[in-house]
Structure 1
Amino acid sequence: MKTFIALDFETANQHRSSVCSIGLVFVENGIVIDKYYELIKPIPNFYSHWNTNVHGLVYDDTVYSENFSEIWEDLSKRIKKMPLVAHNSMFDEGCLKAVLSVYDLPIHKNPFFCTYRKSKSMFPNLPNHKLNTVAAYLGFELENHHHALADAEACAHIALQVF
């Protein structure tokens, strides 16, 4: 697969709908053609310290950001029916479905692929299959782990080598 969109969400709290940032990497014929990053006002709009400890985002970072329904109108036109790829797609696809549902938006029908599951089957001898481990194994230095765009870039790099 050489044409897809790598996707990563960060969430504000334990609710999958609480997306607070999104990173997208658009890949066409094996070449990154565009990148997208946006902070999002989460729903519900509170931050758990566990999530903040992972990605560093807090309430003040997103309090004036658009909500997901406002950015989705444009994003859905760009994403169209392209395949989506995520590292641990169960999480990211779950976030997408949850936030679309909260805003009563149509559920996506894009095919979703998982670099985590694929890397587990392809590289069983790695010590773990976390994004940073697999990315490093495949020669990509992930410098800002848990930043949605940086993680989407690492995912795109992995996807280009495993699919």
Structure 2
Amino acid sequence: LAVWAAGSLLAGVVVGALPAPADAVVRLRWTVLVLGLLFAPLLLAPTTAWLTAGLFLAGVMISPTMIAATSVVEEYVPPARLTEALTWTSTGLAVGVAPGAAVAGAVVDRFGASAGFAVPLVAGLAAAVVAWWFRPPPRPDRALVPGAVAD
């Protein structure tokens, strides 16, 4: 978990230092797809060293995916509702992690430790399908929101 978190930390610092890409939805689609796919090699990691390297690489995609998701929310939600929307985003994350951990635990108990990586692989690919299927709504007209600065 520490190596996974270190990958996320490193990527978060790098992505945070770069200018934001123009299209947050496209960025979210790619980051969630790559994040999900990076769990596939972990199913077959032959040694702890390979597992460590694989977890670091998977961790590298966590921060960019979270940054992209937050950017989509910020871009498409009216400023007056932004706090609520970000709260729902974090609530959704927690609601997804809890049953995911339970399912992964059951898979590990039944099929072994390596098989547990199938759960985030399947969940990541399902999230990628949703992200690619998603069609963003029109952007809110910030000029009509009192106190908002027009783009």
TM-score, normalization: structure 1?
Answer: 0.25
Q: If each structure's strand is expressed as a fraction of its own residues, which one has the higher value?
A: 1
Q: If each structure's helix is expressed as a fraction of its own residues, which one has the higher value?
A: 2
TM-score, normalization: structure 2?
Answer: 0.26
- Answer with 1 or 2: which has the greater Rg: 2
Q: Which has the higher contact order (CA 8 A, sep 6+)?
A: 2
